[in-house]
Structure 1
Amino acid sequence: MKQKFKLTELLDINKEDGIINFRGHRMLVFLSSYFYELRKEMIDSLGEDIVRGILARFGYRCGFNDATSFQNFPEFENDANWMLAGPLMHTLEGLVHASAKILEYDRQKGNFLMRGIWRNSYEAEHHLRLFGPDKEPVCWTLSGYASGFGTCFFGRQVICVETMCQGMGDPYCQFELRNIEAWNGAAMRNIDDLKQCLVEEAQRRVTLWRGMSNYVLERTNEILKEKLAELNKVNKLLNQEKGAMQKSAAIHNQLTTLVLEGQGLSGIVENLACIIDRTVLVADRFFQVMSCSKHLRESEVDIESIWRKVVTDPAVSKDLLAMDSGNHYSRLGFPVSNGTKSMVVVPIIAGNNHLGFVTALDEEKSLSKLDCIALEHAATVIALEMLKQKASFESELRIRENFFDSLLTGKYENEDIVLWRAKQLGLDLSKTYRLMSIDIELEEVVDNVKRQYKQVHMAENFFETVRYVFESICPGFFLSGNCNNTIGLLPVTVETKDTDINNLSTVLQRIETDLKTHLPEEYKWWVGIGSPCSRLSDFATSYHEARATIDIVKALNRKNRCLAYEKLGVFSLININVDRFRNFIRKVIGPLIDYDEKNNSQLVETLTLYFNNNCNVQRASRNGFLNSATMKYRLKRISEIANIDFSNSETILMVHLALKMIEGI
């Protein structure tokens, strides 16, 4: 254990003033013979026992003071270097050559151990000259010094015992330092010699602790006053929170009571508007307004028009749909004539289902925390109301399903009963309808348990989306069935009945576009629509036509399509045997369909273009914005892939028939 610095560098010898300084303390240099004479005189006058105590205490005070002077010494790399400075000081002063072998200590547990060797002890040398070998250790000042230095360093009483001594005839002196408790009575002689020092040290510590205690008490009083002030603030905040929670609970109870009393969505919205003193709007998950409160002030902007404008931004609508139960609310900014204002939007969540949104304008004065809590409570209560409405609708759907079962199977007593039941459901069968059927499947492949769960959840969302899309495009649309067998009635208006085919094409295109917009890519769906029904007996036929249309589209590996039976033209008669229909198309142009699917090419479209232009390459190229060389090359590839001989009239007829069959698909 060595220090990396030299204590000799700390000496300052001023020859002019005759002063030697060591870190600000004056140092004296004596011949060891002076101490020899002093030791002899003291023993002769006072006796060995008394002198041993005096020298031990003298050494203790020297060691304690030296340790104090070394405290917080910047050259020390660690705490242990402070303790190791004691042996170095002994060596520097010429008293002994001291070296430490073991140094272990734990201030928290109060354990201290140090062992080392002294060589060339001046005390052992003097004692041997005076009295010869002794029976006990004679390095009294050295032992006292080590005890004082160790006590100051460790902060607790440490006693040094000399276990070997040259004054006893040993080859060198050996010392050991331990905390006073660790000696277990084995160092009583040393403790008696140092008793006065130990008492003084204890008194010094008591005085120090008293001073510190007074400071601690004063500082504690200051801290307590500060903490008391903080506690008063916290108590005030807690009282405010308690009041807010009580008001929040009252609001929740008030809104819940409205649901239980059957006040409906409009009643909840109007009461919420009064609570937060501003206009409130509720929209479904398609951002369609379901209910809006009356304007409380004439100066308020039209929240409905603002909402419709804000949610048209795809980024905003995407962020809103991504909100879940962890997002309590969101603020949406919107421009106005005199700057920018905002609205607070809270998602309406039920389990994993996103039902819609409740929003309020954040205008003249900002919504308070309690207002936002009221909106959150309202979202929960509105979710209950929407689930209640959903349950009511599902109950009605079961009634509708039973009605359709009897209508499509013809199992009813007479037509008057059917017409009466339809009227009870809000359906006027004296008008003309088309019957619609829908199939859905899950695109991705997952394990069976996850697949079953996801299919159920997916089908429920699909059912609601279909209801929204068809009702928004076709007023008077009547939905029935369930998630696995969805059917509906599309009204045919009198004004467009003569041109129903052309009008139907527009309707089908809008339905297909909206479904693709609102449904995720993992859905696979097919919508088939049958012929118009003017009599009760037509509904079963229209249903079979819708189902046949779906089967045909599936057979051609097409997905996410909305088609009407009429689009099959005269070839719709082949639906008498759907398998033969499928086989015919697959046999004639199946390889082309597969090639287009695999390579994302347009060979079937090119072939259709060719036949629609009476097999005229030049006209087909011109109408298809292609050069004739490209058209000829594609026809060559078509001939190679599907083995079509364009010179064979029978083959040409079969290809033309197959293309006509899938022209509208």
Structure 2
Amino acid sequence: MRAVDLKMDELLDFRPDEGTVFLKDTRVLIENADAFGALRKDLISTLGFERAKGFLIRYGWACGRNDAFNMKDKFKWEDELEWEFGGIALHTLEGKTKVDHDIINIDLKKKKWLLKGRWTNSYEAEQHLHYIGTHNSPVCWTLIGYAGGYASVFLGKRVIYKEIKCLGMGAPHCEFIGKTEEEWGDEIASELPYYEEMRISEELEAAQRRIQLQNQELQRAFAINKKLTELVLNGEGMNGITQTLASIIDESVLVFDNRIHLITTHIVSKQKYLSNLQKRIKDTLKNIMAVPGKEQEYNTLITRKVPLPLRFKIEGFILSCVIYPLVVGNEILGFITTVKNKDEETSTDSIMAIQHSTSVFALEIIKQKSIVDLEQQLRGDFLESLLFDNKTSEESMYAWALRLGHDLKGNHSILVFDITNDQFLKDYTEEKILLLRKDILRFSDGFIKKYYPSVFCGIVNDKYVILFPQTGDGVIKNDLLEFISSINERFKRHYPKMILSMGVGKIVASIDQYPGAYKQAAKALDICHNFKPGKVIFYDELGSLAVLIETQNKAELLNFMNEKLGPLFEHDRKYKSNLIETLEQYLESSSIQQTSKKASMSISGLKYRLGKIKELKYNLQSQQERFDLQLALKIFKLVQVECGSEKPSS
């Protein structure tokens, strides 16, 4: 028989009536991996790392020896090597890890043994990360014990396995080497005591040393935590915390918010290609957070809050990264990423510093959010008084605005905007929508403060309101259009699935004009939602339409437009003509000569088109007919598709 022919469903014999399970007549147990993780945690807490490591290595060694004897006796192998490979196959079938070999050099006659390979999805490393976190040395203790015990029975000589890389240290997988004790020489001497049971006196001495080490680690941890916490209390901010952490661990540190935007970074000396690495890390995080099929990485990073190790090859350099989540309750605040270009173990002090820093970063983010939320509440109260309450004096309003960092004197435009997408938000709860609105306001506020510090932004009545001042001698509308274009571009980049609509009221010059201008902007926004979602409407450009239009009679307006302009739509569509455009130009100019100049058209050509319009039963001499047509054209202009080739219908 060959090892590859082993099938678990053929090996196991379930006997539910007896409450037993057998593997080729040898009773076995089916255990929960999480239960082993909890037991491992208790062993480490009770015995300490060193004694727990020895205990689990010896346990794994015993399991490996027993399986080696059983596999030899229960199967007829094609040759002796298949017996050895049978143990490897059994390890994989039991779900403990996936084993891949890179080098196999076994000589039974000369009693030589060299076996190198990888363990992928080690259950032991995963449980250690889940219950304890990353460690500065390999943690797959039962696996190395098992491999050594099995190989020793097979070779008839003591074989010791050693992990050289481990998932529990932040590596992408585990790597091991197995050699005879003799071939290892002095290199393995420090590991041999774990294979022997210690006498009580030795255990007491070891316990004393362990307590001293733990006390030293505790003092260092306290010092690190104190240093990082003082940065928050002293108002050093994200930059100060990041710089301090990077200096402690001697690694580059990148901090991202929950939208995966880089907040701050500190790059240690002689570390290259960080700009390319930033993009790779951001792409990785975006895939984990948004792409289907990444549930395992998401659960590891967010649900279980386990650091995610990554390795990137950039221009020939291998960079090792570890992503640490910043999660409080069910809210994702952001991510810390540490980067090093040395293939070496992370020290205990560095691990402690990173673990403490996650709490400090989370505290700083919550602190900054609280400040922003309070400021936004104060701005909302101010806007509510400015736009709806006529009881506060002008002097008080000017003073109130100055306390909030804004000068109300001078001309202003009021903008009201909203970001919507009913299809996208249909599955959102009210709480999630509220969080999204807060996030949008924080983003708007941050963008405006950075690039347009003289602009005021806040929320009132669930609408985003912007007070845009005239600066210098410039034309306020030109500045306003530039601002709208800039903020629209930013929103499309950061909220690609949302639709930004905006209404703009008339320019105000005094406090008493703000309520009216706000109503105008709000009405323009309502019209925008109904007729031109994702666009900007200026109230003063609506003309007479602003007086007549109400958002709830959209169907009636469209019916009126189609009734008045329907024959022209049909003619232009059928004959590919431009009678609608000609009619609009003629009604604006009121004379054939002026229309001819404006349209760059000969008088005879214009008269021909006007004749066609008259043939369609339009009386351009009637004042009422002209008014109706102008109103219908305004409605058409409001709802027409920008390319101009499609005509709306009711």
TM-score normalised by L of structure 2: 0.50
1 or 2 for the larger relative contact order (CA 8 Å, sep ≥6)? 2
Q: TM-score under structure 1 normalisation?
A: 0.49
**Larger of the two Rg values belongs to structure:** 1
